[in-house]
Amino acid sequence: MGLQANADVILPKRMHSKNGTSKNTGTLALITSVKRIVILLMLLVIGILVTGCSQSNNVTVKELRELGADEIAVVFAEQGLDLCSSEVRAESVFHRELNGREPLVFLLDGEELVIYQFAGDGEREAGWADFENRTATAELVQHKVFQEQSLLIFYIGDEGKSGRVLFRQIEQVIPELLELRER
């Protein structure tokens, strides 16, 4: 009888042990499946990110062409503004190279109009920062600045009575110049 009692005690332990093992095996299988799914999702996300980043580098940047003095004069003439090409003077802070770009200088109603053409907004902003750095401590003559996309334009002169009308006309010419640069 002692043997049988011992066997009865051992048998339930083995059965309990078997049930626990199968329970643990199921849990481990579930955890392994979850790990696989998480790893697959992470690989999928990484693949999407890599593909997305490489595609964003392939975005084509539109080349802007450099306009000549004659082309610019024609666009201004269409707005009733007569431009005369002028010489670049090295002593003028408005005529100096900005961010690697040389200006085109014109006379408009006896005052200077200086036009810088940059490759884009960022280059224009760097050109403007270059101008500000060079002139930070200087006392500048009265001038008006026009900044639009890739263009930086200085009108150097007194605003006067006709200044506001003239400035509006210049502002109307700028989109046409930008459009012409894209052709």
How do residues 118-145 score in pLDDT, each as one tens digit?
999 999 999 999 999 999 988 899 899 9
The pLDDT of 96-125, averaged and rounded, is: 94
* 52 CB-contact burial (10 Å; exposed 0-12 / middle 13-18 / buried 19+): exposed
Amino acid at 175: P
pLDDT tens digits, one per residue of 26-42: 676 677 777 888 787 77
- Answering whether pTM is above 0.75, one says no
State how far the Cα of 32 lies from the Cα of 26, in Å rounded to an integer. 10
Give the three-state DSSP class for 13.
Answer: helix
Q: Hey, which residues does 154 pair with through a beta bridge?
A: 114, 145
Query: Which one is predicted more confidently, 154 or 158?
Result: 154
Provide the pLDDT for residue 24.
65
Residue 62 has pLDDT above 80, yes or no: no
State how far the Cα of 123 lies from the Cα of 78, in Å rounded to an integer. 28
Provide the pLDDT for residue 38.
78
